Amino acid sequence: MRPPRGCNPGGQDPEDGVTETPRPSPSSTGSRVRVVHVASSLGLGGTARALLHLVEALDRSVFDVSAAGLAGGGELGDRLRAQGFVAVGCDNDARRLEEHLRGERPAIVHVHLSGRADPAGCAILGAIERAAPPVVVETNVFGLYASQASPEWLALRLFPSKTAMLRFCTRVPAIGPGFLERHQVLYYPLDLARLFALRAELEPQRERIRARLGIAPGDFVVGRIGRPDDAKWSSLLTPAFAQLVAARPEARLLVQEASPQARRELAAAGLLERCVLLEMTSDERALAETYVALDVVAATSRIGESFGYTIAEGMCFRRPVVANQTPRKDNAQVELIDSGRTGFVAFTARGLARAFERLAADPARRAAFGEAAAQSVKRFDARSVARDLEVRYGRLLDRRGLALPEPLRARLADPACPSPPLDELRAYPAEYRRRLRNVVGGVTPRAIYRAAWADLRSRSTERRLRERESDYS
């Protein structure tokens, strides 16, 4: 077999005369099912973090799980190895990845990709196709569609949110019979037990943590946490914070970590003296201390979120979240945030400022939002998400006639899988339109255009999905 059309895995010429070796027997013998999770990198980032939590949470008595990154092993790879998992880096060599997969002989390869036809994704898909495992599952991180990165041999395509799946549906050329059997949502997992334990331990130390950061007891702290990438910074936050400071001089902005553009904007606005700038960290406890120090999380980004770990983690720490809408980019922030209940969503700087002001003025509302937020993230618990994924794995293997461990076979009839169920996916376009309208503050003409564009595309997708009623029988 050749790599997907348009891909050139590992820089190799598809016509280079490499001889294909026969498909090895899969490692699914009825004892444990061998699964390899593959991503472009095992470093920092939401994709690698989701992979990490899934590998950690899958039932080790049923699954023999390992991880591979096309690039180096990375920090999260180190964490997996410390727990006894195999986690390898392939130095951007697709042939090494292929050889690793052939040696592992997995029954399932679960690949985490952007959906773009980028060189790394194409290299990974080419290596997987040549290794020819019985079942290949993809998590499409951003809800993007490219024909070169959408091979027919994928058994199941998953998305980290309903919004990411909706984005994919608006771009895919056709929604045929059985579409929702092969395209579903698996929310990104959170280690809630660990996060809730950190919250219980650190919350009583809040004032000490804030004092160490130079934050006074009466300060109202808005926190923006994310990698220092200009694409992840929204220029709406600077004027929004300036308006907040004008109304509430006790306001502070904590940024972990500020991108170059963020630093320039805050300096030009004369706001740096009101900011706490921290470096990004992979230390779980240090990050938990940052959330504890905040009053509100600002999930502001120019490109939005396909899931939003910062949003979900902030909610774990009972912090309301304020975000901007990005309907022409990733926009899962409107799905995670129930505007008016767990936080607010806005289109404009004035809307963001108004949301911050409401929360600053009303500590009781802030506490109520935070409690509702903490309850809402329970659906992302890593153990529950992993159990859901295990059932999906088992059903895919069973359809191919592969032997299953008895504990896994017993779970195949679980009526709660998949979650969210298929009828909820069908209904989501209408729900998404409601969430688009549920904003705080004004809407600019440009925002009206973007919202109208998103509304139109969701209606088209809703119509296409309803034409496939047989998918829900």
In this model, does residue 175 exceed pLDDT 80?
yes
Tokens of 76: 């999260």
Q: How confident is the model at residue 7 (pLDDT cuts 50, 70, 90)?
A: very low
DSSP 237: H
- Could you read off the pLDDT of 105-157 as tens digits, one per residue? 999 999 999 999 999 999 999 999 999 999 999 999 999 999 999 999 999 99
pLDDT in tens, 73-83: 788 899 999 99
Does the pLDDT value for residue 13 go beyond 80?
no
Helix or strand holding residue 287 (H, E): helix 284-293
From CA 244, how far away is CA 275, in angstroms rounded?
13
Q: How far apart are CA 215 and CA 206, in angstroms?
A: 11
| Model pTM score | 0.92
3-class secondary structure, 27? strand
Mean pLDDT calculated for residue range 157-181: 94
**Which of 30-34, 115-119, 272-276, 419-423 is least confident?**
30-34
Residue 21 has pLDDT above 60, yes or no: no
The pLDDT of residue 167 is 97
Q: How far apart are CA 294 and CA 364, in angstroms?
A: 16
Provide the residue ranges of all domains of the chain, joining segments of one domain with +.
9-154+381-409, 192-375
Tokens 């022409």 -> residue: 328
Distance, in Å, from the CA atom of 198 to the CA atom of 284, rounded to the nearest integer, reads 9
CA distances for 202 relative to 91, 210, 314, 444, angstroms: 39, 11, 14, 41
Q: Which pLDDT score is estimated for 26?
A: 56
Separation CA 285–CA 282 (nearest Å): 9
**Start-to-end CA span in the chain (Å):** 35
Task: Tell me the pLDDT of the chain averaged across its residues.
Answer: 92
Which pLDDT band, with edges at 50, 70 and 90, does 449 fall under? confident
The reply to whether CATH 3.40.50.11380 applies to domain 9-154+381-409 is yes
Q: Is 68 helix (H, G, I), strand (E, B) or coil?
A: strand
Beta bridge partners of 346: 324, 440
Sheet with 220-225: list strands edge to edge: 275-278, 251-256, 220-225, 296-299, 321-324, 343-346
pLDDT digits (tens, 9 = 90+) for 379-406: 999 999 999 999 999 999 999 999 999 9
What are the residue ranges of helices labelled H in 66-178?
74-82, 94-104, 119-131, 162-169
* pLDDT tens, position by position, 209-234: 999 999 999 999 999 999 899 999 99
pLDDT category of residue 442 using cuts at 50, 70 and 90: confident
192-375 maps to which CATH number? 3.40.50.2000
93 pLDDT tier (thresholds 50, 70, 90): very high
Tell me how far CA of residue 156 lies from CA of 162, 279, 357, in angstroms.
Answer: 15, 38, 44
Report pLDDT digits (tens) over 357-368.
999 999 999 999
Q: Decide if pLDDT at 4 tops 60.
A: no
HSE at residue 115, side-chain half, CA atoms within 13 A, is: 21
